[in-house]
Amino acid sequence: MAYVVTQSCCADASCVVACPVNCIHPAPGEPGFATAEMLYVDPATCVGCGACVTACPVGAIVPDTALTPAQEPFRALNADYFEAFPHRDRAPVALVPEQRRLRRPGPFRVAVVGSGPAGLHTADELLRHPEVTRVDVYERLDRPHGLARYGVAPDHGATRRVSRLLEAIEREPGFRYVLGVEVGTDVFLEELRERYDAVVYAVGASADRGLGIPGEHLRGSVAATDLVGWYNDHPDRRGLDVPLDAGSNPSGRAVVVGAGNVALDVARILTRPTDSLEGSDIAPAALARLRDSAVREVVVLGRRGPAQAAFTVPELIGLAGLEDVDVVVEADPELLCGNDPRSRLLSGLAGREVSPGSGRRRLVLRFGHSPAALTGTDRVTGVDVVRNRLVTTPDGTVRAERTAAASHLEAGLVVRAVGHRGLPVPGLPYDEATGTVPHREGRVEPGLYVVGWVKRGPVGFIGTNKACARETVAGLLDDLDAGPAVSAASRPSAALAGLGSTGT
Ligand SMILES: Cc1cc2nc3c(=O)[nH]c(=O)nc-3n(C[C@H](O)[C@H](O)[C@H](O)COP(=O)(O)OP(=O)(O)OC[C@H]3O[C@@H](n4cnc5c(N)ncnc54)[C@H](O)[C@@H]3O)c2cc1C
Ligand SMILES: NC(=O)c1ccc[n+]([C@@H]2O[C@H](COP(=O)([O-])OP(=O)(O)OC[C@H]3O[C@@H](n4cnc5c(N)ncnc54)[C@H](OP(=O)(O)O)[C@@H]3O)[C@@H](O)[C@H]2O)c1
Ligand code: SF4
Ligand code: SF4
């Protein structure tokens, strides 16, 4: 019996360390680990000991005998990886990183702004050093964990279990929350710099990217950042106007623009029967609205081809395995003939028989099309769509180029899922082109740092923030060793009296 990884990973690699025969790859330090969509078990050398199952915090690994039909494609996906990357060295990995000791004894205090995965992994990295005795995490909301709480889809229960990892960090001695306090509004950077030896911004990338087309601001055109917050009960998004009923969405169709993982999340939540969402973390008010939804079809519009789609293979397998939604693929057949896992899956979906009278909702993945305009007067009634052709540039990049072939899709709801964008942070420099804070390996200047999406831009998985935090903290520790401008003893106490709550 071999074990199989069955979903995107948190990338903490606990499984790799636990495995006695080093058959889970790519491992930390190996090429591809930092950007891996998931890790893979080599069925040829797995001895079936189950140690990785206990180690994995999100339940991603199962024995091959327990794979559900929907998980079955992961069997070949795990095995195929080793055809391409054999990783012949199977000496067990002993990931015991050398513990750095600061030259100066401290005690040092650090403020982290933002309690998402990047902020908490930063606190974790810092508190491994006894010289850092206090990390205060400031969070503008009353509840922590950023997009791990308010972004990850409610029907992704296993991924949402990553909150357990974050809660373990909260229990570390020296960790403290200051919840319900927005830095830049309730407290200012200068005040933090007076009180702490270093300040790390982990504020994410909270804005949406626009499409820049006519009609984008009509009622019924919604940013995925808002819709995701709405179904995840984000306090800023509870009253969102989402036209789902037959009166405001007579066509019964929604269009999701973009072909990333967020687009798939949104399309899934809009199409799945509400029975399958009962008992999940979905906001009760959103569930009630979805229960009465008149939407029968969701069209996901990818501007380039299937091979260039931004969604990941594990997410596509999850979608293809849904029994309560009819998933349909529309793309030129010649774009679906690749022999990579994504093309094979998509071409399987394109050839799948779908019975028109099934009563299930349809989720259409349409590639090679862009929206040209949203139509309607006071609210969205449809989308003018143009067909694109794919052009390969000399550097190998594949671009979408609009053709004259146009069509129209009636729709009462258009969700713009074309990525996030970071906003300027008061007191910090800002790169308008990338929506990030300019930095060198996380250092903005000595004493001031960035981590996570505000540092790298809005890409990557929850686990990507762990390596990102390690890099930022390494520079921060170098600066503490180099010596602060003010000695800790002469600083005011770290706590800002009367601010926020400290609970979780
Ligand atoms: C819709 C969606 C679904 C996703 N699903 C997955 C998934 O299933 N699996 C996966 O691996 N990855 C997923 N990701 C990616 C993952 O969520 C991100 O990699 C990660 O959350 C980025 O972490 P961060 O800490 O930089 O930002 P965030 O998670 O956005 O955290 C930023 C925090 O800072 C707080 N904040 C902002 N400004 C201030 C301020 N001025 N003062 C105080 N606090 C402030 C915010 O309230 C927030 O809590 C998803 C992303 C999105 C958008
Ligand atoms: N389960 C998970 O692991 C999970 C879930 C959700 C999010 N995440 C991660 O979170 C990050 C953000 O995800 P995301 O989906 O928001 O962003 P993303 O991965 O950057 O995808 C954005 C999509 O929008 C398209 N797009 C951009 N501008 C467009 C335009 N003007 N017109 C039409 N299409 C346009 C992009 O197409 P082009 O490629 O052509 O630019 C791409 O398909 C990603 O790294 C993602 O993997 C992970
Ligand atoms: S989630 Fe973490 S422990 Fe689980 S399989 Fe992925 S890397 Fe390994
Ligand atoms: S079951 Fe044992 S041998 Fe197989 S991948 Fe997991 S830890 Fe390694």
Residue 54: what pLDDT? 85
DSSP 500: S
Q: Model confidence over 294-325: pLDDT tens digits?
A: 999 999 999 999 989 999 999 999 999 998 99
Helix (H, G, I), strand (E, B) or coil at 183: strand
Buried residues in 220-239 as b, exposed as e (16+ CB within 10 A): bbbbbbbbbbbbbbbeebee
Surface-to-core class of residue 60, CB atoms within 10 Å of its CB (0-12 exposed, 13-18 middle, 19+ buried): buried
Ligand 4 centre to CA of 53 (Å) is: 8
Residue 254: what pLDDT? 97
Give yes or no for a contact between 57 and 12, defined as CB atoms under 8 angstroms apart.
yes
415 lines ligand 1 (CB under 6 A): no
The model carries a pTM of 0.92
Ligand at minimal distance from the CA of 27 is 3
Q: Which atom of ligand 2 is nearest to the CA of 464?
A: 45
Q: Model confidence over 176-235: pLDDT tens digits?
A: 999 999 999 999 999 999 999 999 999 999 999 999 999 999 999 999 999 999 999 999
């819709």: which residue's tokens?
A: 227
Cα separation, 304 vs 366, whole angstroms: 10
Give yes or no for a contact between 273 and 324, defined as CB atoms under 8 angstroms apart.
yes
Binned at pLDDT 50, 70 and 90, residue 94 comes out as low
Q: What is the mean pLDDT of the chain?
A: 91
Residue 10 clears pLDDT 80, i.e. is over it: no
Cα–Cα nearest to 12, from 100, 123, 121: 121
Question: Considering the chain, what percentage of its residues have pLDDT values greater than 70?
Answer: 94
Find residue 301's DSSP bridge partners: 257, 366
Reading the block at residue 484, the tokens are 């602060």
Cα separation, 325 vs 271, whole angstroms: 7
Give yes or no for a contact between 204 and 147, defined as CB atoms under 8 angstroms apart.
yes
Pocket test for ligand 2, best of 303, 313, 388 (most atoms within 8 A of CB): 303
Q: Report the nearest-CA residue for atom 8 of ligand 4.
A: 19
E strand or H helix at 447: none
Return the amino acid letter for 411.
A
Q: How many CB atoms lie within 10 A of CB 47?
A: 13
The sign of the dihedral angle between the CA atoms of 213, 217, 223, 225 is: positive
Q: Model confidence over 132-187: pLDDT tens digits?
A: 999 999 999 999 999 999 999 999 988 888 888 899 999 999 999 999 999 999 99
Q: Report the nearest-CA residue for atom 34 of ligand 2.
A: 258
